[in-house]
Amino acid sequence: MRVIFNVDAISAPLTGIGRYALELAQGLATHPHIEQLRLYSAIRWVEDPADALSSNRMFASLRNNLPFKTRALEMYSGLRNVLFRAHTRKLQGYLLHTPNYILMPFDGPCVTTVHDLSAFNFPETHPPERVRFLERHLPRTLERAERVLADSRFIAEEIHEKLGVPREKLRVVALGVDPVYHPRKSETLAEAMSRHGLVAGSYLLVVATQEPRKNLIRLANAYAALPARLRERHPLIIVGARGWLNAELERVLAPLEASGSSRRLGYVSEADLPLIYAGARGFAFPSLYEGFGLPVLEAMASGIPVLTSNVSSLPEVCAGIALCVDPLDEDALRAGLEHLLEDDTWRSRSAADGLAHAASFPWSRCVDETVAVYREIV
């Protein structure tokens, strides 16, 4: 089987979609059913995902800093499509897979991955140019694709009900967890803890891009309502790039940061992130909407008890192991945080169950199931 895989999403800092694209690119390269894999990044072929990581950083910076962003995004997409068509015109017998929504023009069989419909369900939480771009181009992609992959049953059903994609075209392929996420002894964490000014086993961790859908404002308000003794013992540590539309979050976090109760570490290196997970007292992920929720599984794989939302894909992914609460209810979030931090009996049971659950999500399974979908159409 010959596959063209679009690696545009592999760009630093890696998002969840970027991680998915990277893991698939690496897994497909060595899969026994893949005779030839070609990687296309931005406007050119690349030899390996590392090449994509460096070249895509430049293109992402260019798109983000141009004025008239809607026009710039359309111009970039148009140029990429023209060049991709020219680069693939003479290729025969290939399948194209884009792991990030929008297909490029291609005459052979096509697969796309739709991770969520947040741009349609929560357009106010996205940059407007991104919403307009998906509204314009996603319907055509869904018509062209022979198969549409979704990260969860929840998202597959949404794609069917809201966008009219026939169920026979939809396939659910869950994401995976990298084995670098695992429990660690405190002595192995000491260097990373010192580097980031953390104390192992003490802090409440959040890993999320700082954007409205991640619901960090309500989480911060709930955390601020905890008893002072808990905030003193368990600071709120937020890891993730500063995203968009977050002026209100800045206002809410300001007094917590001024008092030393909360800190934002920003983007953390790939080497340090698993250590920061493993050193946490608990993990909070109260997102309003997810297509999967990979950070929840990464925390479970690290042996850390989890609080998350009772909406979208998160109950499906958590399988009854995490503490699931209403993300719109700050009182429920506050009570959940107390439970997460203080109920040692539940914490031990949840951490053990989470470890076993996360172990059933290796990236190799995601790769195998993706290749099985390819084989349905070639």
Give the per-residue pLDDT at 163.
96
Three-point CA angle 316, 21, 171, nearest 5°: 45
> From residue 310, how far is each of 8, 226, 321 by CA, in Å?
32, 21, 12
**Closest to 288 in 3D by CA, of 205, 206, 212, 339:** 212
Give the per-residue pLDDT at 69.
65
The one-character DSSP state at 169 is G
Strand, coil or helix: what is 322?
coil
Give the per-residue pLDDT at 365.
98
Give the per-residue pLDDT at 61.
54
Give the per-residue pLDDT at 88.
95
For domain 2-176+362-377, give the fold.
Answer: Rossmann fold (3.40.50)
Give the per-residue pLDDT at 58.
53
Q: 186-358 in CATH: which number?
A: 3.40.50.2000
The C-alpha atoms of residue 225 and residue 198 are separated, in whole angstroms, by 22
Mark residue 164 as left, alpha or beta (left: phi above 0; alpha: psi -120 to 50; beta: remaining): left
Give the per-residue pLDDT at 59.
54
H-only helix segments in 171-309? 186-196, 216-224, 228-233, 247-259, 273-278, 294-301
Spatial neighbors of 229 by CB under 8 A, at least 6 apart, are none
Question: Each residue of 137-179: pLDDT tens digit?
Answer: 999 999 999 999 999 999 999 999 999 999 999 999 999 999 9
Q: Identify whether the C-beta of residue 209 lies closer than 8 Å to the C-beta of residue 241.
A: yes
Extents of the domains making up the chain: 2-176+362-377, 186-358
pTM exceeds 0.85 for this model: yes
Give the per-residue pLDDT at 74.
87
Question: Each residue of 87-124: pLDDT tens digit?
Answer: 999 999 999 999 999 999 999 999 999 999 999 999 98
Which positions of the chain have pLDDT values less than 70? 54-69
